[in-house]
Amino acid sequence: MSMIETINLTKKYGELVALNNLNLQIEEGACFGFIGPNGAGKTTTIKILATLLKPTWGEARINGRVVGYQNHLIRPIIGYVPDFMGAYEDMVVSEYLQFFAACYGIHGKQRDQVVRDVLDLTDLSYKADAEVNGLSRGMQQRLSVARVLLHDPKVLLMDEPASGLDPRARIEIRELLKELRRMGKTIIISSHILHELAELCNVVGIIEQGNLIFNGPVTEIMARAHTGNVVQIRVSDRVEEAMSLLEQVKGVTFVEVHEFDGQTRIDVTIDPQSGLPTSELASRLITQGFRLESIQMEQVNLETAFMRLTKGLVS
């Protein structure tokens, strides 16, 4: 049985279809990366799973329980981390966690111990007496994660947990999420920071305009996006001359230039039926006196895969 399942899940706002017949199956212990542009339907899906929003039709289940009908059984096993947290004024970190622990029905010495444990896990013990509203954005996100761990949920629903964080805070959140995954939590993360999802998630889903256009292992999406016929070349100078030379090689179908971090790279697309080896391109350049800095087949990452699949360049 899947830990999370949606069956033709649909949400409409008037004539606007925010979510269109979404079908997902996420196994227990999986870390699922939900990818898509703003307005694609990610937050809508997560809010429905968090029992905060009712679908127009279709069904969502968590651990076999139906969202909307068995919410009292679902809420004790889920933790929802929104992109921004809120807190009462003048509340300090330990009070904030004590308050929510009491809401979860945790009392007495057990509550004190649970609060200490989640502070240790999220590395916030030294901020126990600090005001919540005075914390940095990164620390507030860690506190938001600490809050949802108080009742030890099986499922974590995280909506853009790294949004607006500086690089250091993003790394800290990423390491915390890795630890939660090692603890066996089932995690859904929506994010725009695709290279970090590739490190965290073993399964991804791509959603565009409310429609799920890909759902599967990270390795599968990489394989689908990899054309296997783009060679990336860097020469020390005379880039335009190198392009002209490469365009004349039989089997080359397209040549374009990209700028990355102040460096120029030539991407050469080869007709897969031509059998043109990479070594032939290198030989042509060296023979004509070009200084070859690097030559390699294209390296596909999650960002490349996302761009190709959402543009419809891969069937």
Portion of the chain with pLDDT greater than 70, in percent: 90
254 and 200 in a single domain? The answer is: no
260 and 180 in a single domain? The answer is: no
Confidence band (pLDDT; 50, 70, 90) for 228? low
207 and 273 in a single domain? The answer is: no
Residue 58 lies in a domain: yes
Mean pLDDT (the chain, rounded): 87
The CATH number that applies at residue 283 is 3.30.70.100
The strand pairing partners of 80, in sequence order, are: 157
| Structural domain count of the chain | 2
61 and 174 in a single domain? The answer is: yes
55 and 152 in a single domain? The answer is: yes
Instruction: Tell me the C-alpha distance between 170 and 162, whole Å.
Output: 6
Question: CA separation (Å) from 90 to 101, 103, 112, 122, 251?
Answer: 18, 19, 20, 21, 69
Neighbours of 306 (CB within 10 A): 22
Residue 190 lies in a domain: yes
**Which has more pLDDT, 116 or 307?**
116
Q: Are 218 and 198 in contact (CB under 8 A)?
A: yes
Residue 108 lies in a domain: no
206 and 263 in a single domain? The answer is: no
- pLDDT, mean of residues 114-143: 93
- pLDDT, mean of residues 147-172: 87
233 and 277 in a single domain? The answer is: yes
203 and 257 in a single domain? The answer is: no
204 and 253 in a single domain? The answer is: no
**What is the pTM for the complete model shown?**
0.76
Residue 115 lies in a domain: no
Confidence band (pLDDT; 50, 70, 90) for 221? confident
Residue 38 lies in a domain: yes
Domain boundary among 187, 217, 247: 217
168 and 80 in a single domain? The answer is: yes
What pLDDT is recorded for position 277? Answer: 86
pLDDT at 155 over 50: yes
146 and 271 in a single domain? The answer is: no
82 and 27 in a single domain? The answer is: yes
Residue 100 lies in a domain: no
Domain enclosing residue 82, as ranges: 4-91+138-217
pLDDT at 93 over 90: yes
- pLDDT, mean of residues 171-175: 85
Confidence band (pLDDT; 50, 70, 90) for 300? low
Task: Record the tokens describing residue 5, joined without a space.
Answer: 């399942």
Confidence band (pLDDT; 50, 70, 90) for 315? very low
